[in-house]
């Protein structure tokens, strides 16, 4: 049932509201992904061993960063609901508390990256590749604190519908990253800069990320828009139990759900590394392509989550439900179309990455599942983002563990290494992982969409009448 404050609106209205928030997120996230794409393109032309080191190192870094990023992203639905309710000073106070969480996670994460022995053991890294992985991860250990601090800036601005400023800074970081990576990977003999290969990529990333943090700090200080949130003028608030517990109660399950999702694919890269340099290099190209496509549903999910959280905070539950459904259906349909287009054009697209016929052939065998993989990935992502707007995260962890670890990772290992002795030849090796991962994403998409539907229906039901006063 709609009210005077919740006019009936259709697809066009939802698209009109989602698009202005989604496209800056899309551009910004593409610029972030371009960090990895640039590294892949440069390193693929430098040396196969460095490309293999990039695949293993990137998997380790993503495992650490994404999990911690998920914890910090709890700031977004909290601030989004406060924004919808007009409680701006409380939203600013939540940013202060989130900074304490971010600093703690940065210390832990940088330590894990600086001492990567567990990751190297899991990947069974070749002796000629291991020193390259260590050097790359050491550089990223210096980059991680900046990445996590910028995550808080992004989460806050997304929640208050200011994605364009985040996009502008991310584009500035990319503009710095490109020449830095080129110079450090291939060297500049005239300036005495040696060719560092994959290690140069890590150093370039660290420099670019700290530049982004400095720009973000300047924006928060100078832009009068943020005055209403009372962020400055009192130093950094002391840690406060209630808001920290609230953030961690939401953020830890959120981080775990994202970690389970990402580690399913990160561990896939580590296991595929056991199949040899060509297999893992082909996998890295396919992952980079899929990751680029993923930016579209990620942007839609971010925008939908912001609008849904603000609507919930303002008490507009029918509006929130309508936005959630339209985002899910529209984003999934768009992903299916994009997946089919890229599948048809897969050979020339992969040719842009590498001229090595062996690596390109290994990648071609993996993108056979592209359209279904991408559509299912879009559906589960958008549904999860809508649930986050309602501060529902625990169920996502359970679904991801069963679908992505159970079906995807475990099933993929079973097929790839032919543990049953009956795996078809076409599904042995890396293709087995991609088949199982696609199946896992389909399971996750169906389950999360079902939960989302249940939550949205319940949220639109009128609250039960208050009991009559006693006496």
Per-residue pLDDT of the chain (471 residues; tens, 9 = 90+): 444 444 445 788 888 899 898 999 889 888 887 888 788 888 887 877 888 888 888 888 888 898 899 899 999 999 999 998 889 999 999 999 999 999 999 999 999 999 888 878 877 777 778 888 899 999 999 999 999 999 999 999 999 989 999 999 999 999 999 999 999 989 888 888 888 888 999 999 999 999 999 999 999 999 999 999 999 887 888 988 888 998 998 899 988 888 887 777 777 877 887 787 788 888 878 887 888 888 899 999 999 999 999 999 988 989 999 999 999 999 999 999 998 998 888 888 888 777 788 888 888 878 877 889 999 999 999 999 999 999 998 999 999 999 999 999 899 889 888 887 888 887 887 788 889 999 999 999 999 999 999 999 888 765 555 455 554
Computed over its alpha carbons, how large is the radius of gyration of the chain?
A: 22
Rounded Cα gap, residues 394 and 378, in angstroms: 20
Rounded Cα gap, residues 334 and 242, in angstroms: 41
Closest CA to 259 of 167, 384, 156: 384
What are the structure tokens assigned to 117, written together? 């022995």
pTM: 0.80
Residues 6+ apart with CB under 8 A from 56: 119, 120, 123, 125, 129, 133, 269, 270, 273, 280
Instruction: Check residue 4 and give its pLDDT.
Output: 40
Rounded Cα gap, residues 70 and 180, in angstroms: 28
Rounded Cα gap, residues 410 and 414, in angstroms: 6
Rounded Cα gap, residues 172 and 220, in angstroms: 16
Residues 6+ apart with CB under 8 A from 175: none
* Helix segments in 193-316, DSSP class H: 198-222, 241-272, 277-313
DSSP 12-61: HHHHHHHHHHHHHHHHHHHHHHHHHHHHHHHHHTT-HHHHHHHHHHHHHH
Cβ(47)–Cβ(130) below 8 Å: no
Rounded Cα gap, residues 288 and 147, in angstroms: 20
Cβ(84)–Cβ(311) below 8 Å: yes
Q: Which residue has the tokens 């199946």?
A: 439
| Local structure of 428: helix, strand or coil | coil
């Amino acid at each position: 049932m709609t009210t005077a404050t919740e006019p009936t609106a259709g697809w066009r209205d939802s698209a009109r509201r989602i698009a202005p928030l989604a496209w800056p997120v899309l551009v910004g996230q593409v610029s972030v992904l371009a960090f990895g794409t640039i590294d892949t393109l440069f390193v693929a032309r430098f040396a196969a061993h460095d490309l293999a080191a990039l695949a293993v190192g990137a998997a380790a870094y993503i495992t650490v960063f994404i999990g911690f990023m998920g914890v910090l992203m709890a700031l977004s639905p909290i601030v989004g609901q406060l924004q919808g309710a007009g409680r701006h000073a409380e939203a600013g106070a939540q940013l202060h508390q989130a900074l304490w969480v971010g600093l703690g996670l940065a210390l832990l994460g940088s330590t894990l990256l600086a001492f990567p022995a567990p990751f190297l053991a899991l990947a069974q890294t070749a002796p000629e590749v291991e020193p390259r992985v260590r050097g790359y991860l050491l550089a990223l250990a210096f980059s991680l604190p900046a990445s996590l601090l910028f995550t808080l800036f992004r989460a806050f601005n997304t929640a208050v519908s200011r994605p364009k400023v985040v996009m502008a800074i991310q584009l500035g970081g990319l503009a710095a990253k490109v020449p830095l990576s080129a110079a450090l990977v291939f060297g500049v003999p005239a300036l005495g800069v040696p060719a560092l290969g994959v290690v140069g990529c890590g150093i370039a990333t660290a420099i670019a990320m700290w530049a982004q943090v400095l720009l973000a700090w300047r924006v928060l200080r100078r832009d009068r828009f943020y005055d209403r949130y009372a962020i400055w003028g009192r130093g950094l608030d002391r840690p406060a139990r209630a808001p920290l517990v609230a953030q961690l109660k939401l953020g830890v399950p959120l981080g775990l759900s994202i970690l389970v999702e990402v580690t399913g694919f990160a561990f896939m890269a580590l296991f595929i590394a056991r199949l040899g340099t060509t297999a893992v290099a082909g996998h890295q190209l396919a992952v980079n392509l899929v990751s680029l496509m993923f930016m579209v549903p990620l942007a839609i999910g971010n925008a939908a989550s912001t609008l849904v959280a603000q609507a919930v905070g303002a008490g507009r539950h029918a509006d929130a439900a309508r936005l959630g459904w339209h985002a899910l259906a529209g984003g999934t349909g768009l992903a299916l179309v994009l997946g089919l287009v890229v599948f048809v054009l897969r050979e020339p697209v992969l040719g842009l990455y590498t001229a090595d016929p062996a690596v390109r052939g290994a990648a071609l065998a993996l993108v056979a599942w592209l359209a279904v993989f991408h559509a299912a990935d879009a559906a589960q992502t958008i549904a999860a983002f809508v649930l986050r707007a309602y501060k529902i995260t625990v169920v996502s962890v359970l679904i991801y563990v069963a679908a992505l670890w159970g079906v995807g990772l475990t099933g993929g290992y079973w097929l790839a290494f032919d543990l049953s002795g009956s795996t078809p030849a076409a599904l042995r090796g890396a293709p087995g992982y991609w088949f199982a991962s696609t199946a896992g994403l389909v399971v996750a998409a169906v389950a999360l969409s079902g939960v989302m539907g249940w939550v949205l229906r319940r949220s639109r039901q009128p609250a039960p009448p208050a009991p009559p006063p006693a006496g």
